[in-house]
Amino acid sequence: MSSSGLDPTFYRSPGDAAAAPAEKLAYVAAFSRPADKPDAIAVVDVDPSSGSYGTVIGFTELPGSGDELHHFGWNICSSALCHGDHAMHAERRYLVVPGIRSSRTYILDTKENPTSPPIVKVVEAEELAKNAGYSRPHTVHCGPGGLYMSCLGGANGEEGPGGVALLDHDSFEVTGRWERERGDQYLAYDLWWHLSQDVAVTSEWGTPSMIEDGVVPELLLGRKYGHQIHFWDLGKGQHLQTVDLGDQYQMALELRPAHDPTKKYGFLGVVVSVEDLSASIWLWHEDPAASGDARWAATKVITIPAEPAAVEQLPPLLQGFGAVPPLVTDIDLSVDDRFLYVSCFGTGEMKQFDVTDPFHPRETGSVRIGGIVGQVPHPSRPDQPLRGGPQMVEVSRDGERVYFTNSLYGAWDDQFYPEGVGAWMAKLDVASGGGISLDERFFPEGDAFRGRRVHQVRLQGGDASSDSYCYP
């Protein structure tokens, strides 16, 4: 804690976050498929001056099995300064780590031993079901009044609706369900907000049976996966508006609001169009022609086309299409709101767009690595074809470094990469005026993760996708 009594990793503005010391550790979700060994949180050295740079230096195995770690978050973050949630004594100390299959949530303490954080509490699936009515916890954000944890499924074997559970910041007990009036919302995925406007946004994927055994082609072509985003009164948990993108746009997933709290817009990634296999990025924003609660609109601002491919190069799921879909499965926005990063899990491309004008993004960088057809190697291993592709992406607070991993979700990996995805993590260096390049020194892979696949990355001290700020 600083002399002021505040955790120095609480930043009042995006500028303060960018000026803070660089991260030295990255925490990475590592999961076992098949579930023949426990999942873990791997700790990776990201300090370029360290002799162990780019290697796994810590590994906390979880006591359960079959968890399938996916997304996780910090117990508290910079948003504590915006809403007065015990900011004077709270610390960004605990990792809140849900298992998307088991519905257990593990709490890891990073303070005393940040390279080997012990498990200090387990929130069992039964507590989540009893107190919130949900299962399959997915995304964790620290916010007003507690921790917000989006969940894909209902409790006690019910498919849905999915929604958001609230956890206490200190005890991590499940305190209830956030939604008080959910309107027509049924499918769930991500949750984010505009704190200054007291507005929340949620997106849609599918219920447990729609995802846990892989993509269901009949449901995809039947346009049954999520294609809407929802706007809410954050403080009241009250549904205000549904914006439908069109049911050809399947799987409306990652939400990334502007970090400047005076800006009322954000970006949404859509995995695939069933009309042409393209992926797309949408901008949500206020509609100048609307008023009242239903004042939000969504505009498609980026289209990424599918790439033709020979049938013999494709997995069975795609052979009838003769093309590789980009499969945009994650996006991230730099803390200064300048660059948007777009992961194309299918084609093996990471794209950078200048979104200074959010309605007119401009592509400024691209790298290829992995991919269904290309299997492009990392420059440090030029003779080693790579499977999997850019997936979970995390941007440093200063915007100079981008980290990403190569696994999407166990059953979906197996469909798109039936020969296996392996496990690897890569890092990009960002040029000041735009442009990205792979860091040849940084490539933990294979045995480094002890037979696990790797998914979400969180950075020590916060990162671009975990904090909300009070001031511009």
435: buried, middle or exposed (CB in 10 Å: 19+, 13-18, 0-12)? middle
pLDDT tens figures, 24-69: 999 999 999 988 899 999 999 999 999 999 999 999 999 989 999 9
Q: Are 398 and 22 in contact (CB under 8 A)?
A: yes
Strand ranges in 318-423 using DSSP code E only, listed in sequence order = 323-324, 328-333, 339-344, 349-354, 362-368, 393-395, 401-405
pLDDT of 289 reads 85
Q: Is the pLDDT of residue 4 over 70?
A: no
Domain range list for the chain: 14-459
Cα 258–264–270 angle (5° rounding)? 60
Instruction: Quick: pLDDT tens for 194-241.
Output: 999 999 999 999 999 999 999 999 999 999 999 999 999 999 999 999
Helix/strand/coil for 119? strand
Name the CA radius of gyration of the chain, rounded: 20
- 149 pLDDT band (50/70/90 cuts)? very high
Give 464's DSSP letter.
T
Beta strand segments in 347-400, E: 349-354, 362-368, 393-395
CATH number of 14-459: 2.130.10.10
pLDDT at position 111, please?
96
pLDDT band at 3 (very low <50, low <70, confident <90, very high): very low
The three-state (H, E, C) secondary structure of 270-315, written as one string: EEEECCCCCEEEEEEEECCCCCCCCCEEEEEEEEECCEECCHHHCC
What is the pTM assigned to this prediction?
0.97
> d(Cα 414, Cα 387) in Å, to the nearest integer?
11
> Who's near 293: CB < 8 A, 6+ residues apart?
231, 233, 240, 241
